[in-house]
Structure 1
Amino acid sequence: MTARQIALLLALSAAPLAQAQKPLPYLDPSLPIPERVDDLVGRMTLEEKVGQTIDVAPAIERLGVPAYNWWNEGLHGVARSGNATVFPQAIGMAATWDVPLIEKIGDTISTEARAKYNDALARNSHERYYGLTIWSPNINIFRDPRWGRGQETYGEDPFLTAHLGMAFVRGLQGNDPKYFKVIATPKHFAVHSGPESTRHLANIDPTPHDLWDTYLPAFRALIVDAHADSIMCAYNAVDGAPACGSKMLLGEILRRDWNFQGFVTSDCGAIDDFYKPNTHKTSPDKEAAAAAGIKAGTDTNCGNTYLALTAAVKRGDVTEAEIDTSVRRLFTARYRLGMFDPAASVPWSSLPMSVVENEEHRALAAQAADKSMVLLKNDGVLPLKPGVRTIAVVGPNAASLAALEGNYNAIARDPVLPVDAVAAEFPHAKVVYAQGSPYDAALQLPVPRTAFHTGDAEGLKAEYFPGGSFYTLPTVTRVDKQIDFDWMGASPAPGLPIENFAVRWTGTITAPEAGPYPMNIRLHCEFCSSQQTFAVYLDGLLATTSVPVSGKTRQTANNKFTIDLPDTKPHALRVDYVHTNSRADAGITLEWNPPTTPLLNEAVAVAKKADVVLAFVGLSRDLEGEEMPIHVDGFAGGDRTDIKLPAAQQTMLEALVSTGKPVVVVLMNGSALAVNWAQEHAAAILEGWYPGEEGGRAIARTLSGKNNPAGRLPVTFYAGVDQIPAFDDYGMSGRTYRYFKGQPLYGFGYGLSYTTFQYSNVKLSTKTLKAGDTLTVEADVRNTGTRAGDEVAELYLTPPTTAVSPARALDGFQRIHLAPGAVQHVSFQLDPRTLSQVDVKGDRSVTPGEYKVFVGGAQPTAASTPAIFSITGSQTLPH
């Protein structure tokens, strides 16, 4: 019997005998949910209600209400709760331009979330990351490539973001008429896209046009059309009010204009920003801050500030009735998730853990990774010829787990790194590997496999022990090629308990050059504590050991130390790692900061021996991400100060090209890179993003030609930061393909293929349209090449020119598959909202005038011939 069932039985047994045969109203599944919610909330004390308004909602045992943690993440897989399918990072999902695929991914994530929730209930666990309220997707507009969290979004375009976001929400929430499968939470509402360093105090004053033309359309689509039942408010202020205290955003727009019936959750600590120093400081104290959040319409507080609501009621800052409104919304969500009904009546209550990361789900991750690949340049070297004999694989991302995962990631059971995927994909070729360079000369990165040996084998002997100690026989013994593991909530090896285990790695380490080597032990954890300990021995002597963590700190724990390697001979190495008494916060990476010259020399040496060089360069989630303590050239606080390739990697690329061997650049990153030099000198460039657990294989399949790339860029790749306005300028003038007037390196919607396509017979349903009517646009697409492949048909609309109109806007897209010589007919329905424009006052309407339509595999060029139609009359559309 689950904890939920036990709690409900206790509540029933506490009822008077006269009611024993008839359940209390809030426990009666035959009654309407609003009536049940009203009955339950009416039985609660003020203190009990207040307790339910924070993300860690406690149990109310006397009423049989189980504890619930509202915080779960599912951006591209169920995150931070053990093994789950890792799909490409959101920006890579966007590069697929495939709406049905994104809906399938959402459905798969919700299936795995339900299975994890069922398992947690069976263990009587109410931990974070095991709930059914998923704080995804991130649909902020990626307006500037410097924003570190842009990787979490669907790119820079409101139309693409809206359609992919709606598909993801539909997949997550399901289509059952009574119950949500899970509840989706689009975020961060609103006008939020960096800088990370000022997000707790920045006030954004967007023009009415930019607000309604760029920043709100995707949110509207997910709330009004896809019916997301939750939304997360942002840290920043908008028009002078913190987003989580904004009556304009939460009251006027969300509740009134969009008729939102669900609940609002704060970003974590956002209510604190109402009153704490160096923040918005719009409230004098926490009681006033809590009251302001509730009165504005933020229903649950990720944090503890709302616990001050009891005191706020007593001093008159807020009424109990206002708190009741939020508590009713929260319990309505829980009822619609089936949390108070018999398990047999909830469709997904019996999903087992065996569905998590099963073969079907891994196949979907592989399909998504394949479809996310964007070919940016190809001089004919790709796909690699079957007879290639020696392949050099170099670069900091060639053997990087972080570059597969991205941020807000799930934990893959068996991720395959790019270098290993290439070796498997080309079994008849010799694959030689060299790390080549760090991401940046000032940053540490995982010690590469080439530095480790166990006998004649590359890597270290790894012994995995049960019980959190080394005083027993190992359950698993194997060779690990490097020490770089993410085990958050997962078992590190078959047969080992998640809560308690130990690992010992032994072998030798060889330096590429004699000297002192700055090292680091990185522990993977959200809230690091003393549950993880380690020790490192060099030549039998203790080099470093863990320092006990006092309390918990919300950042990855680091332990920097230096080892002296006096020569380039092998030296005995032993690393001990112990994890105890926790299902979370597990994983370890051994990092170093080696001299760049010997790394570069190794890369050049292997390149000279090869027929082709694969250079895996780019970024890492350790460089770009959410509010990070990083400050090196080009990077600050998780954001970027420049968009060029970091200097150490650029130097490596130039050295590789100088060998005369064809160099294929494989980019792995979450945001645009100005790889101008590579465009001029490399043989080919493939954009791989942070591609998930199957991403290494997808890259290899694309290089071999088994996967014909058809991804399209969801963001503009500018030639440099000098082409765009200041990062903290939220005005859209000069930003994104819609308002940018320069020549980018690669445009939004761009992507090559191993085959060719031709468009013909573009037809409009009419050349004169009344405002309020729908226009149909049709075209034929032919595969004119010799390979089967996917094509993304893109439709762009150029409206009558005004002071604020875009040069063009994406208003339709379809991803299709065509055999060589095959023709497919595509059709687009442009409804009034799609045909409408936003004026300087922020009003949306269909306006009269001449419109141009372009249909093709990319944005139109000056040579493109448009189809032209006119709209007569006008129609104002609601916000």
Structure 2
Amino acid sequence: MKFFKHVLLFVSIAGIITACSDAKSENSNNQQNEGAPPNFELKAKELVATMTLEEKVSQMSYESPAIERLNIPEYNWWNECLHGVGRAGKATVFPQAIGLAAMFDKDQMSKISEIISDEARAKHHEFASRGKRGIYQGLTYWTPNINIFRDPRWGRGMETYGEDPYLAGELAVRFIKGLQGDDPNYLKLVATAKHFAVHSGPEIDRHRFNAVPSAQDFLNTYSPHFEKVVKQAGVYSIMCAYNSYNGQPCCGNQELNDLLRNDWGFNGYIVSDCWAIKDFYDKGAHEISDDAKEASAIAVKAGTDLNCGDSYPSLVAAVKDGLITEEELNVSLERLIVARLKLGLFAPEGAVKYENIPYDVVDSEKHRLAALETARKSMVLLKNENNTLPLDKNRIKKIAVIGSNANDLEVLLGNYNGYPTEPITPLKGIQQKLPNAEVSYAVGCKLAEGLPVFEAIPNSVLFTDDSKKIKGLSAEYYDNIDFKGDPKHKRIDEIVDFTWGNKPPFDDMGYDKYSVRWTGVLSVDQTGNYALGGEAFSSMKMYLDGRLLMSRDDVHHPKKIYEYVKLEAGKNYDIRFECIQDNTEHSIMRLLWESPKENLGEEALTIAKNADAVILCMGISPLLEGEEMKVKVDGFSGGDRVNTKLPKTQAQLIKKIQALGKPTILVLLNGSALSINWENENIPAIIEAWYPGQAGGTAIADVIFGDYNPAGRLPVTFYKDINDIPAFSNYDMSGKTYRYFKGTPLYEFGYGLSYTNFKYSNLKIPNTIESGNNFTVEVEVENVGALDGEEVVQLYIQNPNADTFNPHKTLAAFERLFFKPGEKKILTFEIDKEQLSVVNMKGEKIIQPGAYEISVGGAQPSDERMRKGSVVKKKVTISRNATKI
């Protein structure tokens, strides 16, 4: 039976309470009966009026309990869909957000988000039909992350749409609209634009950092895309950031709330970043309040309606102590109830069209093909010397695939990810592409010194007891999450490397509530330093000789954990590994290690010497860059990066491979810019593949062997050296991103090559544009090469008269189009007058009179690597006096 049949309507509840006593309500109900749209605001107000103070406060935390007397079910507000439905089991996984940005394709963003929201709706209704209303099972999604990737060191930059606010805003509008749907009364999902405001690392400082941007930087860079998604996409939720803005934590900042609601017209709800309210009173954080009670009152008064954390229960005491009124709580709670009503969570069956999306759309064949199409579109060809690419798959007899990113599922998926049923790594994609060739594989080197090359601990070193007669570990499977009572099943598992997904280990056990304990002896035959590690979605613990070696209890950031230990040959070590599966939709339990290996490089060189061509899969990993991580690797700190170089382990191996003189292709898998200066000079072909999602391996193979012509563009600048830009903690935009950087980058924002060539001509722009008017740009584009291909047409405006506080160059329009050989198309761009504006010292947007240069092409006009004719430009004059807008 569907979830809707189990829940009484809010309409009924409110109607019972207010019947014959409120003419306004009666009139409202009559209007609705006559076909008027539902008055959710009135219904929310009526329902909130029936709640006690304690009940109201309970509904303002992300884990909102049921109120049985009002037939309100439990609801968990926390969900993620950054590039596919995340952390809720099976889902289609698209490229990481930075890869989505590299497409420069608004239409594809719409297609992706519609697929994601279809899967989200289908999964929610499946959960609800089974009475499941926990984390990652609702309809309120904390996506997208639209912060500006202003510095390549930021570990979470991979979650964003890059460094340009125009690009980020245009893509985010499409993504949000696709998530929230097109029904006039009901939302498909709630999208959340995060993190507001002025937030982009360092991760280690985010709980105490105070951002004080200039008016120019705030209006030019940090706010315009947030304003755009409020005004153009109608985003229904905003997540406030951990950091402070102008001296007040963002989640307790009245200035930011006023900007959103009063200036921009935002009418949804604001949710705190997780445990951000705790930062108000924690030692070493913002420390603006004495305790949770005071902090929570500050946050709600400043418009933070929903708390991801555990601070808001103290609001009961805050009201009783006079720190905040119950009426002030009502404002926030009514917003939250309206959101639930708009999602149709209490609507009668059949009222919401999205409830009919079948579960079999999840990771369906159609969606897998869309993931492949998206991965292809995200690929950026950085270099192709002497047409090294594409390789002829019919002539390749032996090929070497080298690199620890060549066969790593984690590098496909990035972070905030779901779990596809058929992921294709680069190695697998190349093997499938060349069924008749000899495809050899070698790891070659560690991704970085200190990051293990993981594999399941083999049965050759695991034993049930000290006698070492029986290989493997003794396993006890419990049908509860606390190892109580007798195990449901006992057996010997020779290795612990299980991915059950949403299936139970045994048919007579529940798939989402169980625990497993493995015990035995670990005994190695070589003394050395070993990395012992584990992976599990819910929680895990590992003990060595009775000592707790490591533990993790975090469904919010499920990643591998590990510790290096010295093991002596022949010595028996008692090992115990415990994992708990607690109400999650994806079960993975793996006991991992890295044993000492001295010949990784030799193995790679051997297969490379015997190959017709070499494919190097290098870059970085979500185990190195990400959100507030405990990383013990040189060059990385707390999830951020210290520099932008490839780790030494990779750089050294690449040089040795290059010295062999074989045709060599470098494929980069990473979420942020890399300073591959030597590689750019010495490797003939380079592809930027990002974290490409479930079909990434197929897409990479398609590009390498010419079954797809790449057209992706860089959404970030690749600098030659991190010292070319200001310090990471400096939030002034001067010197950062293509809009302010004055040096020569390795690769510019917007850069990317193709296997065909495009010619631009007949640029038509008025010679003089009246200040304060919109204007039209027309250009003709022709595919003058021999192959089908897509082109990303980019329009830039350069203002040589702008002062140092304003960008001298900015993207003002873009379009991705497909061309047959010889095909011509005329493009017309309508340019908003605001694209010409600068911000003066008073914080006003104005349009200055004078000369401007407008260019249209496949890259920025300054990029010398682009072929002649691939960019056209023209100088125009803005007439009259400066105009305020």
TM-score when normalising by structure 2 = 0.89
| 2:533 equivalent among 518, 521, 530 | 521
**1:210, 1:842 within 8 Å by CA — same for their partners in 2?**
no
**1:466, 1:500 within 8 Å by CA — same for their partners in 2?**
no
| 1:119 equivalent among 126, 135, 146 | 126
- Which residue does 1:648 correspond to in 2? 649
Measured in 2, the distance between the counterparts of 1:705 and 1:452 equals: 43
Measured in 2, the distance between the counterparts of 1:492 and 1:658 equals: 49
Q: Which amino acid aligns with 1:498?
A: Y
Q: Which is further off, 633-642 or 862-871?
A: 862-871
Residue 41 (structure 2) pairs with residue 61 (structure 1): no
Cα distance change of structure 1 residues 306 and 502 upon mapping to structure 2, 3 Å threshold: closer
| 1:320 equivalent among 326, 329, 335 | 326
Cα distance change of structure 1 residues 429 and 496 upon mapping to structure 2, 3 Å threshold: farther
**1:69, 1:128 within 8 Å by CA — same for their partners in 2?**
yes
Matches within 5 A, 1:103-142: 103-142=110-149
Matches within 5 A, 1:481-492: none
CA-CA distance at 1:579 after TM superposition: 5.5
Q: Which amino acid aligns with 1:311?
A: A
Cα distance change of structure 1 residues 399 and 16 upon mapping to structure 2, 3 Å threshold: closer
| 2:511 equivalent among 475, 494, 498 | 498
CA-CA distance at 1:834 after TM superposition: 2.2
- Which residue does 1:737 correspond to in 2? 738
CA-CA distance at 1:831 after TM superposition: 1.3
- Which residue does 1:70 correspond to in 2? 77
Measured in 1, the distance between the counterparts of 2:381 and 2:546 equals: 45
Measured in 1, the distance between the counterparts of 2:472 and 2:844 equals: 66
Q: Which amino acid aligns with 2:718?
A: F
Question: Could you say what secondary structure the match of 2:780 adopts?
Answer: strand
Measured in 1, the distance between the counterparts of 2:806 and 2:552 equals: 56
Matches within 5 A, 1:25-44: 30=33, 32-44=39-51
- Which residue does 1:768 correspond to in 2? 768
CA-CA distance at 1:800 after TM superposition: 4.5
- Which residue does 2:366 correspond to in 1? 360
Residue 266 (structure 2) pairs with residue 260 (structure 1): yes
Residue 198 (structure 2) pairs with residue 191 (structure 1): yes
**1:397, 1:668 within 8 Å by CA — same for their partners in 2?**
yes
**1:463, 1:503 within 8 Å by CA — same for their partners in 2?**
no
Q: Which amino acid aligns with 2:43?
A: R
- Which residue does 2:685 correspond to in 1? 684
Question: Could you say what secondary structure the match of 2:327 adopts?
Answer: helix
- Which residue does 2:87 correspond to in 1? 80
**2:196, 2:240 within 8 Å by CA — same for their partners in 1?**
yes
Measured in 2, the distance between the counterparts of 1:819 and 1:563 equals: 61
Cα distance change of structure 1 residues 271 and 581 upon mapping to structure 2, 3 Å threshold: closer
- Which residue does 1:173 correspond to in 2? 180
Q: Which is further off, 259-268 or 804-813?
A: 804-813
CA-CA distance at 1:517 after TM superposition: 4.9
- Which residue does 1:635 correspond to in 2? 636
Measured in 2, the distance between the counterparts of 1:810 and 1:548 equals: 48
| Cα deviations by residue, 1:412-442 (Å, 9 ceiling, x for unpaired) | 1121121111100111211000111111121
- Which residue does 2:338 correspond to in 1? 332
**2:857, 2:872 within 8 Å by CA — same for their partners in 1?**
no
- Which residue does 1:410 correspond to in 2? 418
Q: Which amino acid aligns with 1:524?
A: A
CA-CA distance at 1:285 after TM superposition: 1.4
Question: Could you say what secondary structure the match of 2:167 adopts?
Answer: helix
CA-CA distance at 1:515 after TM superposition: 4.6
- Which residue does 2:109 correspond to in 1? 102
| 1:221 equivalent among 221, 228, 244 | 228
Question: Could you say what secondary structure the match of 1:34 adopts?
Answer: helix
**1:269, 1:303 within 8 Å by CA — same for their partners in 2?**
yes
Cα distance change of structure 1 residues 783 and 324 upon mapping to structure 2, 3 Å threshold: same
Cα distance change of structure 1 residues 235 and 581 upon mapping to structure 2, 3 Å threshold: closer
Residue 446 (structure 2) pairs with residue 435 (structure 1): no
Q: Which amino acid aligns with 1:518?
A: Y
Cα distance change of structure 1 residues 267 and 18 upon mapping to structure 2, 3 Å threshold: closer
- Which residue does 1:787 correspond to in 2? 787
Measured in 2, the distance between the counterparts of 1:88 and 1:587 equals: 22
Q: Which is further off, 819-828 or 201-210?
A: 819-828
Cα distance change of structure 1 residues 710 and 543 upon mapping to structure 2, 3 Å threshold: farther
Q: Which amino acid aligns with 1:610?
A: A
Question: Could you say what secondary structure the match of 2:318 adopts?
Answer: helix
CA-CA distance at 1:553 after TM superposition: 8.8
| 2:211 equivalent among 204, 207, 214 | 204
Q: Which amino acid aligns with 2:289?
A: S
Measured in 1, the distance between the counterparts of 2:508 and 2:767 equals: 68
Measured in 2, the distance between the counterparts of 1:871 and 1:486 equals: 62
Q: Which amino acid aligns with 2:536?
A: H
CA-CA distance at 1:841 after TM superposition: 3.0
Measured in 2, the distance between the counterparts of 1:705 and 1:215 equals: 40
Q: Which amino acid aligns with 2:655?
A: E
Residue 348 (structure 2) pairs with residue 342 (structure 1): yes
Cα distance change of structure 1 residues 694 and 712 upon mapping to structure 2, 3 Å threshold: same
Residue 459 (structure 2) pairs with residue 446 (structure 1): no
Measured in 2, the distance between the counterparts of 1:822 and 1:464 equals: 65
Residue 406 (structure 2) pairs with residue 398 (structure 1): yes
Cα distance change of structure 1 residues 126 and 108 upon mapping to structure 2, 3 Å threshold: same
Cα distance change of structure 1 residues 580 and 297 upon mapping to structure 2, 3 Å threshold: closer
Q: Which amino acid aligns with 1:848?
A: P
**1:524, 1:585 within 8 Å by CA — same for their partners in 2?**
no
CA-CA distance at 1:465 after TM superposition: 12
Q: Which amino acid aligns with 2:283?
A: P
**2:763, 2:779 within 8 Å by CA — same for their partners in 1?**
yes
Residue 614 (structure 2) pairs with residue 586 (structure 1): no
CA-CA distance at 1:787 after TM superposition: 1.0
Question: Could you say what secondary structure the match of 1:213 adopts?
Answer: helix
**2:404, 2:447 within 8 Å by CA — same for their partners in 1?**
yes
**1:376, 1:685 within 8 Å by CA — same for their partners in 2?**
yes
Measured in 1, the distance between the counterparts of 2:577 and 2:417 equals: 26
Q: Which is further off, 333-342 or 641-650?
A: 333-342
Q: Which is further off, 56-65 or 187-196?
A: 56-65
Matches within 5 A, 1:587-736: 587-595=588-596, 597-736=598-737
Question: Could you say what secondary structure the match of 1:8 adopts?
Answer: coil
**1:533, 1:579 within 8 Å by CA — same for their partners in 2?**
no
Q: Tell me the matched-pair count.
A: 848
Question: Could you say what secondary structure the match of 2:354 adopts?
Answer: coil
TM-score when normalising by structure 1 = 0.89
Task: Let me know the Cα RMSD of the aligned residues.
Answer: 3.7
Q: Which amino acid aligns with 1:82?
A: G
Measured in 1, the distance between the counterparts of 2:650 and 2:772 equals: 53
Q: Which is further off, 47-56 or 483-492?
A: 483-492
Q: Which is further off, 136-145 or 422-431?
A: 422-431
Measured in 2, the distance between the counterparts of 1:503 and 1:431 equals: 38
Residue 177 (structure 2) pairs with residue 158 (structure 1): no
**2:530, 2:596 within 8 Å by CA — same for their partners in 1?**
no
| 1:273 equivalent among 268, 279, 298 | 279
CA-CA distance at 1:304 after TM superposition: 1.5
Measured in 1, the distance between the counterparts of 2:568 and 2:398 equals: 31
| 2:296 equivalent among 266, 275, 290 | 290
Structure 2 unaligned regions, length at least 5:
462-470, 480-486, 865-870
**2:763, 2:873 within 8 Å by CA — same for their partners in 1?**
no
Q: Which is further off, 375-384 or 868-877?
A: 868-877
